[in-house]
């Protein structure tokens, strides 16, 4: 008889409901028959899809929702399901028992997913539900922020559109963009992953380099944050007054940021908005394989199975057994301390889900 393989499981840090205390440390997600294949956190609940296709909603009674699906997108107003050859949006609250509020049957040969990708465009878990994309634009991944979207093309190109007032589009300005636009600063550097937070964006090159842009109010870009410096003890916050970074138009270029140099003995220029992608160095030159963004925090998995987090930490979502925010990447010590290697990470707005396997 073959020996069983290493045990794999999901863990969660951070917000688990208003009735639970903040910063309660790691909790193992209760396993599901067939394992957990999809994790989709919303603000107040999390949707799971098991390896057998069963739908499980943690923190919200499913009520009249169907019991099976291939994928889902949750929000506070609706939960969007991919069931067989149909996309359905179910309204939360009293409208749940009336059946889906919106349905979109797929034509024979059409395939949706991974959500939010759909034939001819993408879906959102709120009206109008289905949004078109230019026919010539191909996507292998699409992610949604609070007010913007980012698309990863087959050749590793990145496109963004939506609200740009926090620099989250990476085009160098703060103007909104109505149609997908190439992030020129990344052109020529093939990307392997992309993530969108509330008002920031992150991408990972095929070589494992990490690029960040957008809002940095809570240190979610791992760049020097004035708001966090003001909360530190006076000795740690005695730096020069910040100058607002320029956001004027011009030729796109990459900005190399070394966090150790930025926080050294020299004066620090705080960054509240990073309107162009910045190349970020993780400690020890770690190469990144996977990245995810919460509302105001970021998590990255390295190719050697470590997890680094930074940004807003009010609910313990950074995994450091505290509720402090951080503008520096820090390795989460829970997993190596328990003999675990991290394989995947999925950030919710106020929490972080991690898939780890025994070493």
* Bigger pLDDT: 97 vs 154: 154
HSE at residue 330, side-chain half, CA atoms within 13 A, is 21
Q: How far apart are CA 111 and CA 123, in angstroms?
A: 13
Mean pLDDT score across all residues of the chain: 87
Would you state the pLDDT for residue 26?
83
* Bigger pLDDT: 117 vs 261: 117
HSE at residue 175, side-chain half, CA atoms within 13 A, is 9
Which pLDDT band, with edges at 50, 70 and 90, does 249 fall under?
very low
CATH 3.40.50.150 given to domain 1-31+137-230+272-358: no
User: H or E element: which one contains 315?
Assistant: none
Q: pLDDT of 315-337, one tens digit each? A: 999 999 999 999 999 999 999 99
**For residue 158, pLDDT beyond 90:** yes
Domain with CATH 2.130.10.30 in the chain: 1-31+137-230+272-358
Place of tokens 């393989």: 5
Would you state the pLDDT for residue 163?
98
Give the residue among 187, 192, 186, 188 at the shortest CA–CA distance from 207.
192
Residue 231's φ and ψ, nearest 5 degrees, are -90, -10
How many angstroms separate the Cα of 247 from the Cα of each of 138, 146, 275?
Answer: 29, 21, 6
Q: How far apart are CA 153 and CA 190, in angstroms?
A: 9
Report pTM: 0.88
**Number of residues in the chain:** 359
């Amino acid at each position: 008889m073959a020996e069983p393989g290493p045990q794999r499981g999901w863990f969660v840090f951070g917000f688990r409901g208003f009735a639970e205390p903040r910063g309660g440390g790691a909790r193992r997600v209760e396993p599901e028959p067939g394992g957990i294949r999809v994790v989709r956190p919303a603000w107040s609940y999390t949707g799971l899809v098991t390896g057998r296709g069963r739908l499980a909603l943690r923190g919200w009674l499913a009520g009249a929702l169907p019991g099976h699906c291939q994928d889902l997108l949750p929000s506070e107003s609706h939960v969007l399901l991919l069931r067989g050859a149909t996309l359905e949006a179910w309204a939360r609250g009293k409208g749940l028992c009336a059946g889906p509020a919106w349905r979109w049957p797929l034509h024979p040969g059409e395939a949706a997913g991974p959500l939010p990708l759909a034939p001819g465009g993408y879906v959102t878990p709120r009206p109008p539900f289905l949004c078109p994309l230019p026919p010539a634009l191909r996507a292998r991944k699409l992610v949604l922020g609070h007010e913007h979207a980012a698309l990863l093309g087959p050749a590793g190109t990145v496109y963004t559109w939506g609200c740009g007032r926090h620099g989250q589009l990476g085009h160098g300005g703060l103007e909104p963009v109505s149609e997908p636009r190439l992030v020129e600063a990344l052109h020529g550097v093939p990307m392997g992953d992309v993530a969108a937070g509330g008002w920031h964006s992150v991408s990972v090159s095929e070589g494992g380099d990490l690029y960040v842009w957008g809002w940095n109010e809570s240190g979610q870009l791992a760049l020097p944050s004035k708001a966090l410096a003001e909360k530190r003890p006076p000795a740690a916050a005695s730096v020069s007054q910040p100058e607002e970074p320029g956001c004027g138009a011009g030729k796109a270029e990459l900005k190399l940021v070394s966090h150790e140099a930025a926080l050294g003995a020299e004066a620090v220029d705080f960054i509240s908005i990073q309107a162009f992608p910045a190349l970020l160095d993780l400690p020890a030159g770690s190469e990144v394989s996977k990245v995810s963004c919460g509302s105001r925090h970021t998590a990255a998995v390295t190719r050697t199975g470590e997890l680094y987090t930074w940004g807003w930490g009010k609910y313990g979502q950074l995994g450091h057994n505290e509720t402090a925010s951080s503008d520096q990447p820090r390795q989460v010590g829970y997993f190596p301390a328990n003999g675990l290697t991290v394989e995947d990470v999925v950030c919710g707005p106020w929490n972080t889900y991690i898939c780890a396997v025994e070493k």
